[in-house]
């Protein structure tokens, strides 16, 4: 409207004052055509803001910002894209069609842009990256469409940190690096043996307290180290114990501690044995009379028991002797039984011949047919008078 007002004012001047105006502006039809073209250019060249959207991302992670191409056709394509951060007036990226994209400032090494879908990726999001981003898309007819995108950080509690150990035995330097993969606005601090770090020149912190360096290591440094990662949402910690597996200083210290432990155990055992012996002696002296009386009672009891056992033994032996004597006497008093002696006997039988064939023949037959049997013979002994 400002340029149209200037043209109308110039055309409305008297003739002697508008000699410098081009002749085409003096004709009414040409002036109307010029005004129409001027209004058309002003309408197409204005910026058309589009309602924005919100994107959430975690700290130290990746954020993806994307804006669609609006009102684009083959006759009016996008020729230029600009990304900037509104609240800090930082130009992030410019992309001209046919040329490579150009990143500026701190975004040069951690920004990736894809023109085909108009997407920008920011790596390692920081606290200062939170804010409103504006992408401006310039079309061929010089019209500009702007889209606002708000990037907000999501609060995440800290994850368990991890300690990386680096040891230089030649310089006797220990370096511990602690890092938690997740967490929003984390703060780090270290503990040594559960206590705050000594305030001396040997202990130093750097990189926002994530790295601890201990110089001139000694046996007193062979202890437990704790890294604490904390935020408003919580607190986590990780421990590392410096031993002989990491440095030889702690190895020698471990051997000395082992020997000292053996000595301490030996001394403790000797002291315990001595105390036990002293207790026994003290108790013996204190209860000597009672112990002596108890021993006397035990001896008397044993003697009485043995005496009773001897008496029973003598009684049993006497009873056995009486029984044996009675048995012998009974055997002598009983009459002797008749003794039977068995003697052999001979039985002879002769079978005479019924046919007499002479004396010689008969004798032969008698000899042939004679037989005898020897059997037991019983003899009766005379009964005692």
166-183 pLDDT, tens digit per residue, is: 999 888 999 999 999 888
User: Alpha carbon of 64 to those of 59, 60, 283, 317, 383: distances in Å?
Assistant: 13, 13, 86, 117, 146
User: Alpha carbon of 7 to those of 14, 17, 20, 37, 127: distances in Å?
Assistant: 14, 14, 13, 12, 51
24 versus 208: the higher-pLDDT residue is 208
162-242 shares the fold of 47-154: yes
Q: E strand or H helix at 363, and its extent? A: helix 359-369
Top CATH class, 162-242 = mainly beta
On whether the CB atoms of residues 226 and 237 are closer than 8 A, the answer is yes
Predicted TM-score (pTM) of the model is 0.40
- The pLDDT value given to residue 3: 44
Instruction: Judge residue 279's burial from the number of C-beta atoms within 10 Å of its C-beta, 0-12 exposed, 13-18 middle, 19 or more buried.
Output: exposed
Q: What is the pLDDT of residues 109-158, one digit of tens each?
A: 888 999 888 899 999 888 889 999 999 999 888 888 889 999 998 888 89
pLDDT class of 214 with cuts at 50, 70, 90: very high
User: d(Cα 100, Cα 85) in Å, to the nearest integer?
Assistant: 20
Strands 144-154 and 47-58: parallel
Tokens linked to 165 = 């150990």
Among candidate residues 176, 347, 156, 311, the one with its CA nearest the CA of residue 234: 156
What is the third-level CATH fold of 47-154? Answer: Immunoglobulin-like (2.60.40)
User: Which sequence spans correspond to the domains of the chain?
Assistant: 2-44, 47-154, 162-242, 248-313, 340-380
- The pLDDT value given to residue 19: 42
* Strand segments (E) across 86-233: 90-96, 102-103, 111-114, 119-122, 131-139, 144-154, 162-168, 173-179, 187-192, 195-196, 203-206, 211-214, 224-231
- The pLDDT value given to residue 134: 92
On whether the CB atoms of residues 61 and 122 are closer than 8 A, the answer is no
What b/e sequence results for 235-271 when a residue is b if at least 16 CB atoms lie within 10 Å of its CB, and e otherwise? Answer: ebbbebebeeebbebbeebeeeeeeeeeeeeeeeeee
Tokens linked to 92 = 């992030």
- The pLDDT value given to residue 242: 93
Q: Report the chain's mean pLDDT, rounded to a whole number.
A: 75
For residue 73, the 8-state DSSP code is B
User: d(Cα 182, Cα 353) in Å, to the nearest integer?
Assistant: 147
């Amino acid at each position: 409207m400002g340029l149209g007002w200037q043209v109308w004012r110039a055309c409305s001047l008297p003739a002697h004052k508008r000699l410098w105006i081009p002749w085409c502006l003096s004709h009414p039809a040409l002036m109307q055509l010029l005004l129409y073209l001027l209004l058309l250019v002003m309408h197409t060249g204005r910026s058309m803001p589009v309602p924005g959207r919100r994107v959430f991302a975690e700290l130290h992670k990746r954020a993806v910002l994307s804006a669609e191409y609006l009102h684009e056709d083959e006759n009016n394509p996008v020729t230029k894209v600009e990304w900037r951060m509104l609240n800090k007036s930082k130009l992030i990226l410019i992309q001209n069609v046919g040329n490579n994209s150009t990143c500026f400032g701190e975004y040069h090494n951690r920004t990736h842009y894809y023109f085909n879908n108009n997407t920008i990726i920011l790596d390692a999001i920081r606290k200062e990256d939170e804010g409103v981003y504006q992408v401006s898309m310039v079309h061929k007819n010089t019209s500009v469409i702007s889209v606002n995108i708000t990037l907000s950080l999501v609060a995440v509690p800290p994850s368990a940190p991890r300690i990386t150990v680096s040891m230089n035995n030649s310089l006797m330097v220990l370096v511990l690096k602690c890092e938690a993969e997740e967490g929003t606005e984390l703060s780090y601090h270290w503990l040594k043996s559960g206590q705050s770090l000594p305030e001396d020149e040997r202990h130093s912190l750097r990189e926002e307290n994530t790295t601890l360096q201990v110089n001139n290591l000694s046996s007193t440094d062979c202890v437990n180290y704790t890294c604490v990662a904390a935020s408003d949402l919580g607190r986590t910690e990780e421990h590392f114990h410096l031993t002989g597996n990491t440095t030889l200083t702690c190895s020698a210290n471990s051997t000395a501690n082992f020997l000292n432990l053996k000595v301490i155990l030996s001394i403790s055992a000797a002291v315990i044995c001595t105390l036990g012996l002293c207790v026994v002696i003290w108790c013996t002296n204190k209860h000597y009379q009672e112990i002596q009386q108890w021993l006397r009672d035990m001896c008397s009891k044993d003697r009485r028991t043995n005496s009773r056992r001897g008496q029973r033994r003598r009684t049993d032996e006497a009873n056995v002797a009486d029984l044996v004597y009675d048995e012998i006497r009974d055997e002598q008093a009983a009459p002797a039984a008749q003794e039977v002696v068995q003697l052999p006997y001979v039985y002879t039988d002769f079978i005479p011949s019924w046919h007499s064939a002479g004396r010689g023949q008969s004798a032969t037959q008698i000899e042939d047919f004679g037989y005898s049997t020897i059997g037991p013979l019983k003899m009766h002994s005379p009964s005692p008078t």
